[in-house]
């Protein structure tokens, strides 16, 4: 077993878990809170990665994060605009934006499908220079990712309890009531999707700097992976305040990365990652249902036994 669980696996699972947790949090807002299946995630993630990479190449790795978030807001706004003002079904709006973003992303990357950041400063290379300490050198990447996620969690934990945050949550929970409480549901959907888009893009920008590259296909399948993390997180943390719920999603994301790392460790080829993801998602989603069925079957058997004893 010791060959399967090494410290470096744990470490990289946590790093990736934190970075990708931002998409899972984004889906928590759009999918769980707003009850909208926003499928623009894949394109939006690559958009954040591309914008972040270009700004990083220009020499501004920190500004890159904010620019990427700005781009994500635009993407979220267009998705929201299509469904609130143009009468496009929410699931279609996401697909349309996702498709369109492919070209936009290529354009951002100067019509090349791959760019690398090996020779420019990134958030991580800048942080690396701070200290020569061995422990610091081992853990600074996780530190940065964790700090950003922590900040996002705290801000969201605060925001989702403000008047606007409550309105966004209520919009997905009971649209009927929202209209009767003088809240403009269209505006709340727009705000929610903009936040969600900005977090997805932020995740992309951080991943680009972390891997020192950006590829037009980075985003493919991210929505499935994020959904898996989200569902694992929701299974882990079933109740509690907003901060606790959002933290649960981060936990789910780390756990998911850990499962994938172990799966790959079992000599699965790297190409199998997507299939493994799909299986994990299906398993995570069906788990509560299977558990209930198993419980029912058990109860049925017991009652039959009792009846048999009586007769």
Partner 1 sequence: MLSIKNISKTFHAGTVNEKTALRNVSLEMKSGDFATIVGSNGAGKSTLFHAVTGAFYVDGGQIILDGEDITFKKEHLRSRDIGHLFQDPLLGTAPHMTIEENMALAYMRVSGKHSPFGRVTKKDKTLFREKLALLDMGLEERMKNPVGLLSGGQRQALTLLMATVVTPKILLLDEHTAALDPATAEKVMKLTKDIIAERGITCLMVTHNMHQALETGNRTLMMNDGRIILDITGKERESMTVDTLLEKFREQAGTRLDNDRILLSGR
Contact status: 11 vs partner 1 (CB under 8 A)? no
Nearer to partner 1, 50 or 183 (CB): 183
Contact status: 155 vs partner 1 (CB under 8 A)? no
Contact status: 180 vs partner 1 (CB under 8 A)? yes
Measuring CA to CA, which residue among 91, 97, 130, 101 is closest to residue 218?
Answer: 101
User: Is 177:51 a contact under the CB 8 Å cutoff?
Assistant: no
Which of 8, 112, 182, 267 touches partner 1 (CB under 8 A)? 182
Which of 114, 133, 174, 286 touches partner 1 (CB under 8 A)? 174
Query: Which residue matches tokens 């996780």?
Result: 142
Nearer to partner 1, 129 or 182 (CB): 182
| Candidates 176-184, 256-264, 272-280, 303-311; binding stretch for partner 1 (CB under 8 A) | 176-184
Contact status: 161 vs partner 1 (CB under 8 A)? yes
User: Is 223:31 a contact under the CB 8 Å cutoff?
Assistant: no
Contact status: 266 vs partner 1 (CB under 8 A)? no
**Sign of dihedral through CA atoms 70, 115, 123, 263?**
positive
| Candidates 130-138, 149-157, 175-183, 248-256; binding stretch for partner 1 (CB under 8 A) | 175-183
Per-residue exposure over 196-219, b if at least 16 CB sit within 10 Å of its own CB, e if not: bbbbbbbbbbbbbbbbbbbbbebb
Which of 173, 294, 302, 303 touches partner 1 (CB under 8 A)? 173
Nearer to partner 1, 184 or 220 (CB): 184
Which of 164, 211, 213, 224 touches partner 1 (CB under 8 A)? 164
Nearer to partner 1, 6 or 162 (CB): 162
Least separation in angstroms between CB 170 and partner 1: 5
Contact status: 99 vs partner 1 (CB under 8 A)? no
Q: What's the CA gap between 63 and 45, in Å, rounded?
A: 17
Q: Token pair of 311, please?
A: 């007769």
Long-range contacts, stretch 259-262, CB < 8 angstroms, 24+ apart: 260/13, 261/9, 261/12, 261/13, 262/4, 262/5, 262/9
Helices (H), the chain: 7-27, 41-57, 61-85, 90-108, 123-128, 134-159, 163-173, 175-180, 185-211, 222-236, 242-265, 273-310
Contact status: 12 vs partner 1 (CB under 8 A)? no
Interface residues with partner 1 (CB under 8 A) are: 159, 161-164, 166-167, 169-170, 173-174, 176-185
């Amino acid at each position: 077993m010791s060959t399967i669980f090494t410290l470096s696996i744990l470490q990289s699972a946590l790093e990736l878990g934190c970075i990708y947790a931002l998409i899972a949090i984004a889906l928590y807002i759009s999918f769980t809170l707003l009850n909208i299946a926003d499928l623009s995630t894949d394109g939006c993630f690559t958009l954040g990665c591309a914008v972040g990479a270009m700004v990083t190449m220009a020499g501004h790795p920190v500004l890159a994060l904010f620019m990427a978030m700005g781009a994500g807001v635009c993407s979220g706004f267009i998705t929201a605009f299509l469904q609130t003002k143009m009468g496009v079904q929410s699931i279609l709006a996401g697909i349309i934006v996702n498709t369109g973003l492919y070209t936009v992303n290529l354009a951002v990357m100067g019509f090349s499908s791959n760019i690398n950041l090996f020779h420019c400063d990134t958030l991580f290379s800048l942080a690396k220079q701070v200290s020569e300490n061995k422990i610091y050198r081992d853990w600074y990447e996780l530190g940065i990712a964790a700090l950003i996620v922590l900040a996002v969690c705290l801000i969201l934990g605060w925001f989702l309890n403000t008047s606007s945050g409550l309105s966004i949550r209520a919009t997905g929970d009971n649209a009927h009531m929202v209209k009767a409480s003088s809240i403009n549901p269209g505006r709340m959907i727009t705000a929610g999707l903009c936040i969600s888009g900005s977090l997805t893009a932020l995740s992309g920008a951080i991943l680009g700097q972390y891997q020192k590259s950006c590829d037009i296909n980075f985003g493919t399948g991210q929505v499935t992976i994020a959904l898996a993390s989200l569902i694992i997180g929701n299974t882990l943390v079933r109740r509690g305040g907003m901060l606790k719920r959002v933290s649960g999603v981060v936990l789910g994301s780390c756990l998911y990365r850990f499962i994938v790392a172990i799966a790959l460790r079992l000599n699965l080829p790297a190409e199998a990652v997507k299939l493994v993801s799909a299986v994990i998602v299906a398993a995570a989603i069906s788990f509560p249902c299977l558990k209930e069925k198993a419980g029912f079957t058990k109860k049925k058997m017991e009652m039959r036994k009792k009846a048999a004893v009586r007769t």
